Amino acid sequence: MVRASTQNLSKARTNKDCSSKVRLNRDRASQDNAYPPWLEAQLPAGARSVIGRRCLLVESDKCNNNLEATPGQLRVKYGETLADAYVLQREAEWLHRLRHLNVDIPQCVTFYRNGTQCVLITNYLSGSSASDWLLAHQNSPSYIEQLRPYIESTFDALDYFHQQGLVHGDIKPGNILFGANGQATLIDFSNMRRVDQPWQERGFNQYSPSFRYPEPAEVAKFEHDYFALLISVAALFKMERLSSFRSLECFVEYIESQYKSWGLYDKHINHIECYLNKINNS
């Protein structure tokens, strides 16, 4: 879950009694396969299915008048709040900036915004998030062997962005896509920054709590991605939910005590040790 804190957003209301919670959950369950009426005019023609919270997959044969002809599978993310609009607009902007890089990322088809109503349509990349892959494969006797190439590919993907002077800003298992042939792709660039750019922008400070760098930081550094990726790798190998680390010392001690038992190749271990050294020297 990504949190976006802002001076412009009001505090969440306090839940009432248990009966109201039950009714609310029941209402939400009935709306899982629904989307707001205003969204219809922005959707391309084709079969639609819900693939996540405020996220649709459209099997498109042609697009409506607002889009260029783009047959195929399209991913539609939408929102109705100020925070949603901020996050989706930033992702659309970064997808546009990254489109010429030699890296497999979603391509932005269109972005629509009217007040707080917003829609981001991209092409659909097939695969499973690392978190979903974990749930599906954790009982496999060849789990570690299957996971190794994805870990290497994830290291490579992050290094490529760092070589361009870019900090991803929201590394976590849900934002790592495991595709075919052991290839991993980083997705969701709404919190990307150039190195040394401020994290806070227009009053917003976006982050995923369990993967957030534990030391105060006003500007983006590569170490923030190293921390989040090592937490993600630890979660995949330990196959359990990790709690947030309150200090870098605690985090480094944990990783140092664990990573050699994960069954990694030497090149993976060298990568982890390099990350740990950079974090220690930051």
Name residue, tokens 């010429």: 100
Its pTM stands at 0.83
Burial class (CB in 10 A: 0-12, 13-18, 19+), 176: buried
Strand partners, 176: 186
- What pLDDT sits at residue 35? 85
Indicate the angle between helix axes 130-137 and 143-163, nearest 10 degrees. Answer: 170
Handedness of CA 130, 132, 135, 141 (dihedral sign): negative
User: If you average pLDDT over residues 197-218, what whole number do you get?
Assistant: 88
Q: Name 241's Cβ contacts closer than 8 Å, sequence gap at least 6.
A: 235
Res 222 pLDDT > 50: yes
How many degrees, rounded to 5, is the angle at CA 241 between CA 236 and CA 245?
100
Do the beta carbons of residue 88 and residue 141 sit within 8 Å?
Answer: no
Res 64 pLDDT > 80: no
How confident is residue 33, by pLDDT bands cut at 50, 70 and 90?
A: low
Please, what is the average pLDDT of the chain? Answer: 84
- What pLDDT sits at residue 86? 94
| Domains of the chain with CATH codes | 33-123 (3.30.200.20), 128-280 (1.10.510.10)
Name the E strands within 108-256.
108-114, 117-123, 128-129, 166-167, 176-178, 184-186, 193-194, 205-207
Helix (H) or strand (E) holding 77: strand 72-79
Name residue, tokens 């040790």: 273
Do the beta carbons of residue 279 and residue 223 sit within 8 Å?
Answer: yes
Do the beta carbons of residue 184 and residue 104 sit within 8 Å?
Answer: no
- What pLDDT sits at residue 70? 54
Q: Name 62's Cβ contacts closer than 8 Å, sequence gap at least 6.
A: 44, 45, 46, 69, 71
pLDDT (tens digit per residue) in 118-136: 999 999 999 999 999 998 9
- What pLDDT sits at residue 14? 38
The answer to which of 10-24, 95-109, 134-148, 188-202 has the lowest mean pLDDT is 10-24
pLDDT (tens digit per residue) in 135-174: 899 888 898 899 999 999 999 999 999 999 999 999 999 9
- What pLDDT sits at residue 18? 41
Res 233 pLDDT > 60: yes
d(CA 71, CA 44): 9
28, two tokens: 């939400």
User: If you average pLDDT over residues 61-76, what whole number do you get?
Assistant: 65
- What pLDDT sits at residue 159? 95
User: If you average pLDDT over residues 36-64, what whole number do you get?
Assistant: 86
Within 13 Å of residue 21, how many CA atoms lie on the same side as its CB? 6
d(CA 153, CA 170): 17
User: If you average pLDDT over residues 54-68, what whole number do you get?
Assistant: 71
Res 21 pLDDT > 80: no
d(CA 249, CA 14): 36
